[in-house]
Amino acid sequence: MNKQLIVYILISIAFLVVFGGIASVLPSRRARQLGHLRVTARKCGLTTSLVHITDVNASLTDRVTASGKKLDPKKRCVAWSKTYPDEVPDVPEWITYALDQLESSETKWQLHETTEECRNLGEKYWSEVDRIKNLFPERCIAIECMRTEVRWLGYENVSSTIDEFIQSMLQGLDSLIHLNTSISEERNTLKKQLDTDSEYD
């Protein structure tokens, strides 16, 4: 009887060891959801990547060492990107960071202009950018417009459905691309007019 009990105990331990080892290497439910979400994103013309961006919300102790040396704290997040359909010259380039919310429920943003042309953009442009921000999925920590693509940076929300998340992402990125493409076309038209006028001077 004791021998049988020992055998059962040993079999149970072996089963737990094998099952526990298999379970430890299997992806979690959240990991499977994120994997499926990112695969679906690629089918919709979006790319995703892990990136490190400036942490504008870092504390003073994270920005300066005890000896007074300045640091550049970074934050890890996921970038969702969509490229311009064609090569577009003179598109605005900038990045805006979401600031930590304190008493206000409204998200405050900190704009970093990366090109001189951004300073010539009017209030109408930035008002449209503010409208587009509300189209994006939640948990956004930055939005960036680059020479070849536009990007949403943040953390995916797997509590929403894949279709809802990707549709919101596409709506926001497509709106930014359309806005910046329109600005580029306006600038090119103005350049052509100036060149034409100068020929007749």
Q: Is 186 a domain residue?
A: yes
Ordered per-residue pLDDT tens for the chain, 201 residues: 566 666 666 666 666 665 555 444 555 777 777 778 888 888 889 999 999 999 998 888 888 887 888 888 999 999 999 999 888 878 899 999 999 866 556 788 999 877 777 777 888 999 999 999 999 998 999 999 999 999 999 998 766 678 889 999 999 999 999 999 998 888 777 777 766 655 555
Q: Is 184 a domain residue?
A: yes
Amino acid 176: pLDDT: 96
Amino acid 130: pLDDT: 94
Token output for 200? 């007749």
Q: Is 53 a domain residue?
A: yes
Query: CA-to-CA distance for 50 and 65, rounded, in angstroms?
Result: 27
> Whose structure tokens read 């020992």?
6
Amino acid 23: pLDDT: 43
Q: How many domains does the chain have?
A: 1
Query: CA-to-CA distance for 51 and 72, rounded, in angstroms?
Result: 15
How many CB atoms are closer than 10 A to CB 156? 22
Query: CA-to-CA distance for 130 and 200, rounded, in angstroms?
Result: 41
Q: Are the beta carbons of 93 and 147 closer than 8 angstroms? A: yes
Query: CA-to-CA distance for 93 and 116, rounded, in angstroms?
Result: 9
Q: Is 2 a domain residue?
A: no
Amino acid 109: pLDDT: 92
Amino acid 2: pLDDT: 62
Which pTM was predicted? 0.76
Amino acid 198: pLDDT: 57
Q: Is 140 a domain residue?
A: yes
3-state secondary structure the chain: CHHHHHHHHHHHHHHHHHHHHHHHHCCCHHHHHHHHHHHHHHHCCCEEEEEEEECCCCCHHHHECCCCCECCCEEEEEEEEEECCCCCCCCCCEEEEECCCCCCCCCCEEEEECCHHHHHCCHHHHHHHHHHHCCCCCCEEEEEECCCEEEEEECCCCCCCHHHHHHHHHHHHHHHHHHHHHHHHHHHHHHHHHHHHHHCC
Token output for 150? 């536009």
The residue segments making up the domain with residue 114 are 44-199
Q: Is 155 a domain residue?
A: yes
